[in-house]
Amino acid sequence: MSETLLRVRGVEKSFGGVVANRDISLNVADGEIVGLIGPNGSGKTTLFSSIVGYHPVDAGSIVFGNKEITRLRVPQIARLGLHRTFQQTRIFTGMSCVQNMQISAPLVQGKGPVSLFAPFPVEATEKLEYLLAFVGLYEKRFLRGGELSFGQQKLLEFAMAMMSGPRLLLLDEPTAGVNPTLIDYIVNRLRTANDEFGITLLVIEHNMHVIMTLAQRIYCLAHGHMLAEGSPQDIQDNPQVVDAYLGAT
Ligand code: ADP
Ligand code: MG
């Protein structure tokens, strides 16, 4: 068993009276692909936001590598190699794919206002072109983000997240709203990023076929608490999970 890369212990998060996450614990080992499922509103996106430092948690601890990151904010956590993508993508639709990649480069991040007119380092240009080719967008690199299909925008966001050489990526519904042929391609790219670049993945996914074939282990949330954890087969056979999806719990 490889070492634990992400360790979440007893995390709690409420918004006013709504308890979005209640006593959540999970582990992700270095090199794994782990799934996070659960009905709408069960607290999946909130947990991602807590892990990456988007908002402070009310209780609990989050450790990445050997570092306590519970009280750190997004830029500090990103510099350690932990990034997330969004359910609704956060690309810049008025900028080209290349420009979107440029502003995602670690040299530019966190260094004040971005100048798109300053010369861009050659190595970073090679890297961004390589990554755009990796996600099948090289030929479209001068198109604006807004000219891409929704699935292609998700691929661009994935490539942007890879610009800084992450160790762990949290992907929020990478195939939601994407047409079926592109879903297979996205799954293939995620698996290849894991196999070939060694990027560990924690993936929220609603498409059961996708998550059952992609993930090695799966956690299931319901009403803000951890309902079940296990292999894809365990999860599929778990009556509580089935009930949660049918709205019976
Ligand atoms: P999921 O991603 O599993 O669909 P969310 O984490 O988005 O679930 O939401 C969990 C619960 O927390 C929901 O009841 C949602 O309405 C609530 N919630 C999430 N974010 C906020 C917020 N910023 N302010 C208030 N309530 C929120
Ligand atoms: Mg969500």
247 band by pLDDT with thresholds 50, 70 and 90: low
CB-based burial label for 209 (10 Å; 0-12, 13-18, 19+):
exposed
How many angstroms does the Cα of residue 24 sit away from the middle of ligand 2?
A: 16
Give the global pTM. 0.93
How many angstroms does the Cα of residue 182 sit away from the middle of ligand 2?
A: 21
List 225's β-bridge partners, or say none.
222
* Nearest ligand atom owner, CA of 39: 1
pLDDT at 111: 52
pLDDT in tens, 69-93: 999 999 999 999 999 998 777 899 9
Answer whether 207 contacts ligand 1 (Cβ < 6 A). Answer: no
pLDDT of residue 115 exceeding 80, the answer is no
The closest residue, in CA terms, to atom 19 on ligand 1 is 46
Length of the chain: 249
Tokens of 56: 């402070």
pLDDT at 69: 98
Question: What atom in ligand 1 is closest to the CA of residue 43?
Answer: 6
Give the torsion sign (CA, 62, 66, 71, 76).
Answer: negative
pLDDT of residue 18 exceeding 90, the answer is yes
Give the mean model confidence (pLDDT) for residues 199-215.
95
Answer whether 18 contacts ligand 1 (Cβ < 6 A). Answer: yes
pLDDT at 88: 76
pLDDT of residue 54 exceeding 90, the answer is yes
Amino acid at 41: G
| Domains detected in the chain | 1-81+170-185+197-249 (3.40.50.300), 91-165 (no CATH)
b/e 45-72 (16+ beta carbons within 10 angstroms → b): bbbbbbbbbeeebeebebbbbeeebbeb
Question: What atom in ligand 1 is closest to the CA of residue 47?
Answer: 6
Give ∠ CA 44-49-54 in degrees, rounded to 5: 165
106 band by pLDDT with thresholds 50, 70 and 90: confident
pLDDT of residue 178 exceeding 60, the answer is yes
CA 184/CA 224 separation, integer angstroms: 30
CA 64/CA 32 separation, integer angstroms: 14
Give the 3-state secondary structure of the chain: CCCEEEEEEEEEEEECCEEEEEEEEEEEECCCEEEEECCCCCCHHHHHHHHCCCCCCCEEEEEECCEECCCCCHHHHHHCCEEECCCCCCCCCCCEHHHHHHCCCCCCCCCCCCCCCCCCCHHHHHHHHHHHHHCCCHHHCCCEHHHCCHHHHHHHHHHHHHCCCCCEEEEECCCCCCCHHHHHHHHHHHHHHHHHHCCEEEEECCCHHHHHHHCCEEEEEECCEEEEEECHHHHHHCHHHHHHHHCCC
